[in-house]
Amino acid sequence: MLDMDELEHRFEVDIKVREEKQRLTGDVKQVLKAAGLIDEKGKLKLKGASPKMLKKMKQEFVDCPVIKTDIHFIQCFVCPNFQSRVMGKVLCKGSEL
């Protein structure tokens, strides 16, 4: 079992849920496409995440301590500051982007 104290992080950010799906912004889509996480049809393909998990992730958001605004969880998940997701929280390194 992963202990939250084992990973080096500055912030523990709660994951929040909205009832409706959120749309990714054009900028985020471009970054994901460049990283190979969106296929040619525009479908999100995260390695190790099932379609059911992706559907759940599309409804989640976090209050990012680095950007200082609410962001889509998928944007947080692919961020270089993302450490781990543990028990409804994201462990964030907190480095400047």
Beta-carbon contacts of 87 under 8 Å, excluding residues fewer than 6 positions away, are 4
Domain spans in the chain, listed from the N-terminal domain onward: 11-92
In eight-state DSSP terms, residue 87 is T
- Kindly tell me the sign of the dihedral angle through the C-alpha atoms of 27, 28, 33, 38: negative
- What pTM was computed for the model? 0.79
Kind and range of the H or E element at 70? strand 69-72
In eight-state DSSP terms, residue 82 is E
Tell me the per-residue pLDDT of 12-45, one tens digit each, with 9 for 90 and over.
Answer: 999 999 887 778 888 888 888 888 888 888 888 8
